[in-house]
Structure 1
Amino acid sequence: MKLSKLAQASVLLGAATLSFSGFSAQETKVEKVVDAGEKITQSANQSQQRVDRISDQIQSKLQQFKTVNKEIDGLNVYNKQMQTQIDNQLKELQQLAVSMEQVSVIERQVSPLMARMIDTLAQFVELDVPFLPQERSQRIAHLRKTLERADVSVAEKFRQVLEAYQVEVDYGRTIEAYTGLQQVNGQELDVDFLRIGRVSFVYRSRDGQQMGVWDQASKSWQELGAEYRVDITKALRIARKQLTPDLIVVPVAQNSAE
Structure 2
Amino acid sequence: MIINFHFKKNTMLYLLSSILMVLALTFSVNAQKEIDPTRQMDPVKSLLAQSNKDGKAAQDEIDIIDDATNVIVQEFRQNYQQLKDLTQYNDQLEILIDRQERKMVRIEKDIASISSLTRSVMPLMFKMIDALDNFVELDVPFLINERRQRVAGLRNLMNNPDASPAEKYRKISEAYEIENEYGRTIEAYTGKVSPDDDRTVNFLRIGRNSYIYQTLDGDEAAVWSRKNNGWKKLGGSYRTPIQMGIRIANEQAAPDLMVVPLEITAE
Q: TM-score range by the shorter chain?
A: 0.7 to 0.9
**Quick one: which amino acid aligns to residue 260 of structure 2?**
P
Q: 1:87 to 1:176 in 2, by over 3 A?
A: farther
CA–CA distance in structure 1, aligned partners of residues 18 and 58 of structure 2 = 60
- After superposition, give the CA deviation of every residue in 1:68-107 in whole Å (9 maximum; x if it has no partner): 2122122212222332232223223222322222222111
CA–CA distance in structure 1, aligned partners of residues 56 and 201 of structure 2 = 119
CA–CA distance in structure 1, aligned partners of residues 115 and 141 of structure 2 = 39
The gaps in structure 1 that reach 5 residues or longer are none
**Quick one: which amino acid aligns to residue 51 of structure 2?**
I
- Equivalent residue in structure 1 for 2:106, among 95, 106, 113: 95
**Quick one: which amino acid aligns to residue 94 of structure 2?**
Q
- After superposition, give the CA deviation of every residue in 1:150-171 in whole Å (9 maximum; x if it has no partner): 5543233212211211221332
CA–CA distance in structure 2, aligned partners of residues 257 and 53 of structure 1 = 114
CA–CA distance in structure 2, aligned partners of residues 146 and 49 of structure 1 = 87
1:202 pairs with 2:206: no
Q: Answer yes or no: is the 8 Å Cα contact 1:200–1:250 preserved in 2.
A: no
- Equivalent residue in structure 1 for 2:258, among 242, 249, 255: 249
1:175 pairs with 2:187: yes
Q: Answer yes or no: is the 8 Å Cα contact 1:180–1:193 preserved in 2.
A: no
1:244: Cα distance to partner?
Answer: 5.9
Higher RCO (C-alpha under 8 Å, 6+ residues apart): 1
**Quick one: which amino acid aligns to residue 187 of structure 2?**
I
CA–CA distance in structure 1, aligned partners of residues 176 and 146 of structure 2 = 14
1:67: Cα distance to partner?
Answer: 1.7
Residue 201 of structure 2 is matched in structure 1 by: 191
1:211 pairs with 2:221: yes
CA–CA distance in structure 2, aligned partners of residues 105 and 213 of structure 1 = 49
Q: 1:23 to 1:215 in 2, by over 3 A?
A: farther
- Aligned residues, how many? 255
CA–CA distance in structure 2, aligned partners of residues 182 and 93 of structure 1 = 58
1:143 pairs with 2:117: no
1:8: Cα distance to partner?
Answer: 8.7
1:162 pairs with 2:192: no
Q: Answer yes or no: is the 8 Å Cα contact 1:238–1:244 preserved in 2.
A: yes
Residue 122 of structure 1 is matched in structure 2 by: 133
Residue 118 of structure 2 is matched in structure 1 by: 107
Q: 1:174 to 1:204 in 2, by over 3 A?
A: closer
CA–CA distance in structure 1, aligned partners of residues 128 and 26 of structure 2 = 146
Residue 62 of structure 1 is matched in structure 2 by: 73
The gaps in structure 2 that reach 5 residues or longer are 1-11
Q: Which moved more, 1:59-68 or 1:120-129?
A: 120-129
**Quick one: which amino acid aligns to residue 41 of structure 1?**
N
Q: 1:6 to 1:196 in 2, by over 3 A?
A: farther
Q: Answer yes or no: is the 8 Å Cα contact 1:182–1:191 preserved in 2.
A: no
Q: 1:47 to 1:187 in 2, by over 3 A?
A: closer
- CA-based RMSD of the aligned residues comes to 3.8
Q: Which has the larger radius of gyration?
A: 2
1:188: Cα distance to partner?
Answer: 7.3
1:47: Cα distance to partner?
Answer: 1.0
CA–CA distance in structure 1, aligned partners of residues 198 and 65 of structure 2 = 113
- Equivalent residue in structure 1 for 2:54, among 36, 40, 43: 43
CA–CA distance in structure 2, aligned partners of residues 187 and 39 of structure 1 = 130
% identical equivalent positions = 31
CA–CA distance in structure 2, aligned partners of residues 187 and 26 of structure 1 = 149
CA–CA distance in structure 2, aligned partners of residues 122 and 161 of structure 1 = 11
1:137: Cα distance to partner?
Answer: 2.8
Q: Which moved more, 1:19-28 or 1:9-18?
A: 9-18
Q: Answer yes or no: is the 8 Å Cα contact 2:190–2:200 preserved in 1.
A: no
Residue 8 of structure 2 is matched in structure 1 by: none
1:218: Cα distance to partner?
Answer: 7.4
3-state secondary structure, aligned to 1:207: coil
